[in-house]
Amino acid sequence: MNLSEQLFQRALALIPGGVNSPVRAFRSVGGTPFFTKSAKGARLTTVDNQELIDFVLTWGPAIHGHNDPEIHEAIRLALDRGTSFGTPNPLEVEMAELILACVPAVKKVRMTNSGTEATMSAIRLARGYTGRPKIIKFSGCYHGHVDSLLVKAGSGALTQGNPDSAGVTPGTAADTLVVEYNNLPALKQTFQANTGTIAGVIVEPYPANVGLILPDPGFLEGLRECCTQHGAVLIFDEVMTGFRLSLAGTQGLHSVVPDLVCLGKIIGGGLPVGALGGKAEIMDHLAPLGPVYQAGTLSGNPLAMAAGLAAVRKLKRENPFLRLEILGQKVRDTLLAAAKAKGVPLQVPQVGSMFSLFFNEQKVRHYNQAIASQGDLYRRVFRYALDHGVYLAPSPYETAFLSTAHEGVDIDQACAILDAAVRSL
């Protein structure tokens, strides 16, 4: 029994399922999860001294790779000044200015401690602003473990085979309406059937918690039009895509401007963080100005702000998004060529530094098609890749990420392993 297996056995007696976030348990891919002792650049090193080229990247934040020197130094300097103050600190203002300068929809912003807190606050704010009770979400979109949003959720809930969660009351779920992603007629029908009661629509503009799904041409524009027509608040959950696909997130790829935006991951530089921003007239409904309460002891934590400022400022300075797109295309093309040679059905949706694998004959446009993919083939690819030095997400229903640290020998080596993994099927 190696050290990871020993640690997992100890953890099972102490932590539910042995993990502090469900998808880490490897339930859907089999085997025992490895434990990481360090990470640098594009690689993780396990407690058993196995080096892995990492396509999970702490689920998205590490766009510059692990333990980036600039982020490391920013945290060190902030640490010398203290870990938490419980008062406003200058870095909160600098982070707010930076977000407003980059994200078109954000005119005011409130920091939180996680993406889940940001989405929870966003739907409460939409309800408080409109005076309406109902929220529309899309099947397969995961917005954190908020009670009212754990309905047809993706990510870990889907991986565990529980699209809905025990402990969510029928009354809580009753005000959440679920629509199929990329289905504008269904969205319009839902609005018409609930006239005057829909406070807002929350969506991952590029759903990335059920694998990666790309929006059909015109879908996001139609969504914006519906919300405007019916006076509903349009909420973009860009916890994953924010500052990853462009400095403006998905808003840099199209002309659709939401009313509220939820951010996280990259703006914390690897430390816990979230943010909620949008139109000033809506944001001013938050306490202490307005009647919608939201608070957090560690919101705007100086360590997280220092790390996030370093991460985003480096993105602004280096503008690596074209480089990341080229890396994403290289991985996509490698996987598709291997699948064609092997004669297996594979879809590889990819945008910028994000991609996923669907073993499916048809392009995946929504949740039902995603879960109809052949998960057993993904599990075999995952296991081959892990055994040969590449770490993919331990679930068929997650998105893979690239960083600037993957350039060079790491991406070449990873592509060779992924090619062999698909050809081994």
Q: Which residues are tagged catalytic?
A: 142, 237, 265
Strand blocks (E) in 204-258 = 233-237
SS3 309: helix
Q: Which 3 state secondary structure label does DSSP give 198?
A: strand
- The four Cα atoms 25, 30, 36, 39 give a dihedral, to 10 degrees, of -110
Q: What's 232's DSSP letter? A: P
Token pair listed for 276: 């909620």
Contact present, 129 and 291 (Cβ < 8 Å): no
Q: Rounded to a whole number, what is the distance in angstroms from the first to the last CA of the chain?
A: 28
CB 238 within 8 A of CB 263: yes
- Give, for 390, the enclosing helix (H) or strand (E): strand 390-391
Task: Locate all alpha helices (DSSP H) within 343-374, ordered by sequence.
Answer: 367-371
Using CA atoms, how far apart are residues 42 and 65, in angstroms rounded to an integer?
5
How far CA 203 is from CA of 119, 137, 333, in Å, comes to 10, 6, 28
Q: How far is CA 117 from CA 26, 261, 317, 380, in A?
A: 26, 13, 29, 35
> Residue 139 in contact with residue 367, Cβ under 8 Å?
yes
Helix axes 90-102, 302-318, angle to 10 degrees: 30
Q: Is the C-alpha dihedral spanning 82, 88, 90, 92 positive or negative?
A: positive
Tokens of 7: 């640690």
Q: Quick count: other Cβ atoms within 10 Å of Cβ 31?
A: 15
Whose tokens are 């919300």? That residue is 227
